[in-house]
Chains A and B, each alone.
Chain A
Amino acid sequence: MTDPKVTQSEPAPGSTDTQLEPGQARNEVAPPSRSQQVLRDILGGSAMISVLAVVLALLAGGILIALTDKDVQAAAGYFFSRPADTFRAIWDAVAGAYVALFQGSIYNFRADDFVRGIRPLTETLKFATPLITAGLGVALAFRVGLFNIGGRGQMLVAAGAAGYIGFAVPLPPGIHLVVAVLVGMLAGAIWGGIVGLLKARTGAHEVIVTIMLNYVAFYLISYLLTQQWALQAPGSTNPKSAAMLPTAVFPKILGEQFNLHLGFIVAIAATIWFWYFINRSSMGFRFRAVGENPNAAQVAGIKVKSVYVWAMVFSGALVGLAGVNQVLGTVTSGFTATIDASIGFDAITVALLGRSRPVGVFVAGVLFGALKAGGYSMQAAQGVPIDIVLVVQSLIVLFIAAPPLVRAIFRLPVPGTAPKSRTRKLEVAK
């Protein structure tokens, strides 16, 4: 993967994305027929790359599982006398882990009835919910050319604000939930807006500011969780809040036997809103123009600075929604300063995998939700630490980011048309 030699072969000039094979450049080859061309585009195109990236990452995860499995290690000790044992152990370890992953995330065949069997899928959607909304938030910033690494901070302040309304401010049913959600989103929007404001007013780079604000938010919430007048549960000495009042909790949408709650519907709504906003609204048009070329946008009279501020406000609100989702949907018994569960960082990978398109982000969110849900059952059933999910997740994004690498591994053709952008960022980033 990291062969140092590769960097010494210099990129071809001009449209570097299509590195010409020697034969391709010199000989007059008959132009490919139409159907061949279509096949090439499908094989080399981005959807195929995405699928292959997932396959590659799971493969790498499998290798890790096999290498660290006790039975495999034991069998490898006498590999030369009975090699078949080793392979069987590898198969058992990897297949066992991935079957557990599947059963924990999609359908459990061993369950007694359909309701229990399908439960993992609802768990997947439950885990996917904050990933989708936070992913949309990061994606929105991407579309404006901004890199929102501040998901953690925005989620924490949103969770803190929504949580406070949730346990400390009794309101009538219905209104309570709505107010808590809105206040949480507002808090996320403000925390994101600070970044946009600093970027617009002083040119401070958003990557640095968001990273730093993550820690500021963490220590701020940590502090508030130790204060009786703020977030700490009354009478408690633990840095933990009280449980949410029932009126502020997202209702379960599939009945009490499933954990899936209203937050998922909100995530679907957010996805639809994102589509409309980016593709059909005039503000979204300005967002995209700034994201693709801020100079031209400015010359055309678009107020780039205010777009930066609003983009971070919207982005922070969407990411904040994920924090709200955590305290009002997933962990309603009170929260700590780790309530964000590193979803803020996962959201970056979700947005990248989804190429910052609404449907893409939704699908990517569900996929990573499945990895999480399955990861827990894999840990429980097979003793494979949940951290493997992080490895798989980051590998997927790395592979997605470098299509030539995936093509090289699978010896796929380069798609017919030369992409026009020189920099191979994932289309979305800046």
Chain B
Amino acid sequence: MSVATGSVTPSSAPIELEKAVVRNWKPPIGLGIFALIGILLFVVFARPGATSFRFSTDGDQIQIPIWVVDAGAVYIVVTILLIAIAAVSAFLAYRARRTPIWLIAVFAALFMFGFLTWAAAGASLPVQIASLLVGAVSLSVPLVFGALGGVISERVGVVNVAIEGQLLAGAFVSALVASATGMQFLGLLAAMVAGVLVSFVLAAFSIKYFVDQVIVGVVLNVLVVGLTSFLFSTLLAPNAALLNSPPRFDRIEIPLLSQIPIIGPVFFRQTIIVYLVYIAVFVVWFALFKTRWGLRLRSVGEHPQAADTVGINVARTRFWNVSLAGAIAGLGGAYYTLGSVGAFNKEMTAGAGFIALAAVIFGRWDPIRATLAALLFGFALNLQYALSVIGSPVPSEFMLMVPYLVTIFAVAGLVGYVRGPAAAGKPYVKS
């Protein structure tokens, strides 16, 4: 039959090329820098005194007593531990092993504890841990919705820079509709429709006309800012009572769960929109990785041609999923007017869409991780308010910078090799 029968058996087992030993020094360097900052703050610029932490809110049935620590003792313990962890990380890097995530998490928690102690040392008011977290969750809600929209959109292969526009459109329309009808749920629905409309433009231009997706996204943001500001000035502002006083959702306490110390007030005394977040995160994660819809969506974002050859309509899949992403982001916009702030105002989202985009990337295009990233960013934003209440020495501007700086560090590869959907940003042209 052939010359080589039996001489070479095919090796179907995966061929592993030899791997070279490569040491990754990024984690220890990153940790080392933060350990140095720690030394700087806790040793060089140490603020003496006592710091008190309060974990309970007034409405709690179980009151945890206020915890008072001596700042000096905390500085010593935290600094030593930070240095130790950085050293362990360096050792692991030297042995060409990875620094485990949990170690980095412990490091971050320690640093945060030390930082809070330092910032509030000698202050007359205690650090309100519970309300700090409550506020963080509240600030995170639109970020999470935006990030979920971003994850879906980018996973299906369309880069979504227009999250900001979707949030803003959602906020505007929900305020208008909820005010005019007096029904919050109608406002919620309208916000989704508004997000979808923005998505329609993004999808039509990037899928049908192959316009660069980033360009459409950037221009869309400008368009939505212009439209909402124009309509705000001409319609909403002159008729504020009628068109711009949306009824807000009330907080709903979940029985029992809301009484758990710390966790209760943070997660289970929220408005319906926050509970929607929980559902949305789970549903998006489940659907993305466990269902036919998710498999097809991801295939289109990774290798549209392969999807096409097995009979999946790439353009249609992209179009409707980008629309869905818009609906989810629109919900996030509604949170501003129906959940937290109230009346609509010009450019009220103030860049939250870009933080959501950052969360998508920082969360490596994974709905759960992106949600955690959004929570982290929300925490950083809220920390700034909390610190200014205590009267901390850190200028609020620097706290406000944190999410953006963190994202720059993230995309610069300090958190490891980030790989997004392979076909994101590339129009699919049949050839």
Contact = CB atoms under 8 A, between A and B. Distances in A.
Interface of A: 1-4, 6-8, 10-14, 16, 64, 68, 147, 149, 198, 201-205, 207-209, 211-213, 215-216, 219-220, 222-223, 226, 345, 348-349, 352, 384-385, 387-395, 397-398, 401-402, 404-405, 422-426, 429-430
Interface residues of B, number: 56
Contact of A208 (B315, B357, B413): B357
Summarize A's interface: helix, strand, loop or mixed.
helix
Interface stretch (B47-55, B62-70, B173-181, B229-237): B229-237
Contact of B226 (A11, A213, A391): A391
Given A2-B204, A391-B223, A429-B212, A209 B218 contact: no
A12 B430 CA distance: 7
A397 B219 contact: yes
B211 A391 contact: no
A401 B215 contact: yes
Contacts of B348: none
Interface stretch (B2-10, B254-262, B271-279, B396-404): B396-404
Contacts, number: 186
Contact of A398 (B201, B203, B235): B201
Contact of B234 (A6, A68, A208, A423): A68
Nearest to A352: B215
Given A68-B231, A208-B357, 10 more contacts: A8-B315, A205-B411, A209-B412, A212-B408, A219-B397, A220-B401, A223-B398, A352-B219, A388-B226, A425-B212
A213 B218 CA distance: 16
A204 B411 CA distance: 5
A331 to B, nearest CB: 20
A401 B430 CA distance: 20
Residue among A204, A207, A208, A430 with most chain B CB within 10 A: A208
Nearest to B322: A7
A3 B204 CA distance: 8
A141 to B, nearest CB: 12
B429 A11 contact: yes
B245 interface: no
Contacts of B215: 348, 352, 397, 401, 425-426, 429
For the complex of A and B, 6 pairs with smallest distance between CB atoms: A390-B226, A394-B223, A387-B229, A385-B233, A2-B200, A402-B209
Contacts of B318: 7
B205 interface: yes
Nearest to A403: B209
B206 to A, nearest CB: 10
B395 interface: yes
B430 to A, nearest CB: 5
A151 to B, nearest CB: 11
Contacts of B233: 385, 387
Contacts of A213: 404, 408
B205 A402 contact: yes
A424 B201 contact: no
B412 A215 contact: no
B201 to A, nearest CB: 5
28 contacts: A3-B204, A6-B208, A7-B207, A7-B318, A68-B235, A198-B412, A201-B412, A209-B408, A209-B412, A215-B354, A216-B404, A222-B397, A348-B218, A385-B229, A387-B227, A388-B226, A390-B223, A390-B230, A391-B230, A393-B226, A394-B222, A397-B219, A398-B201, A398-B220, A401-B212, A402-B205, A405-B209, A429-B214
Residue among A147, A149, A394 with most chain B CB within 10 A: A394
A219 B211 CA distance: 33
A424 B412 contact: no
Residue among A68, A201, A345, A402 with most chain B CB within 10 A: A402
A208 B361 contact: yes
B309 to A, nearest CB: 14
A328 to B, nearest CB: 25
A278 to B, nearest CB: 20
Contact of B212 (A203, A345, A423): A423
B216 A401 contact: yes
A223 B384 CA distance: 14
Contacts of A219: 397-398, 400-401
B147 to A, nearest CB: 14
B389 interface: no
A215 B405 CA distance: 9
B23 interface: no
B391 interface: no
A68 B231 CA distance: 8
A226 B400 CA distance: 15
Contacts of B315: 7-8, 10-11
B230 A388 contact: yes
Interface in B360-410: 361, 395, 397-398, 400-401, 404-405, 407-408
A393 B227 CA distance: 11
